[in-house]
C-alpha cells in the first residue's frame, strides 16, 4: 500500500544509507532538534515502490530541523524500530565515527 507522501507530500524522499541517515541526524542535532523515526501509520508500514520507508522527523529546534522520508530501509531495521522505541541513539551505532562525534557533540535540544 502506497503511503509515502500522503501525510507530508512536500517532504524530500531520500535513499536509506547509513551515511545519508547519519548526515541527516547530524544536521538535525546541529540546530538543536531531536531525530525521531516512524515506521507506520494506523498499523500500516510506510512503503513506496515495494520498499519500506520511514518518516524521519526533525522534532523541535523551533522549526529549523527538517523532516524527510527515507526509503529502501532494510526490514531488519524496520523490525528493530518497531520492537524498541525508535530512539536515534540506537541508529547512531551505525554511523561513521566522524559523524557520530559530530552528533554527540551537538548542543542540547532546544
In tens, the pLDDT along 31-59 reads: 999 999 999 989 999 999 899 999 999 99
d(CA 44, CA 21): 22
Whole-number Cα distances in Å, 17 to 7, 22, 61: 23, 8, 24
Residue 7 pLDDT class (50, 70, 90 cuts): very low
Alpha helix segments (H runs only) across the chain = 18-30, 75-83, 88-92, 97-104
Look at residue 6 and tell me whether its pLDDT is greater than 50. no
Joined grid coordinates for residue 85? 522505541
SS3 string of 51-77? Answer: EEEEEEEEEEHHHCCCCEEEECCCHHH
Joined grid coordinates for residue 38? 516512524
Residue 11 pLDDT class (50, 70, 90 cuts): confident
Please state the pTM of the whole predicted model.
0.83
Query: Backbone phi, then psi, for 92, in 5-degree steps?
Result: -55, -30
Amino acid at each position: 500500500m502506497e503511503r509515502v507522501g500522503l501525510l507530508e507530500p512536500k517532504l524530500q524522499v531520500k535513499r536509506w544509507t547509513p551515511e545519508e541517515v547519519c548526515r541527516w541526524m547530524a544536521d538535525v542535532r546541529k540546530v538543536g532538534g531531536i531525530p525521531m523515526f516512524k515506521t507506520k501509520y494506523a498499523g500500516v508500514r510506510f512503503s513506496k515502490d515495494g520498499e519500506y520507508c520511514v518518516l524521519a522527523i526533525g522534532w523541535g529546534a523551533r522549526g529549523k530541523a527538517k523532516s524527510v522520508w527515507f526509503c529502501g530501509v532494510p526490514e531488519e531495521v524496520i523490525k528493530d524500530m518497531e520492537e524498541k522505541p525508535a530512539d536515534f541513539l540506537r541508529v547512531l551505532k551505525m554511523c561513521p565515527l566522524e559523524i557520530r562525534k559530530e552528533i554527540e557533540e551537538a548542543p542540547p535540544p532546544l
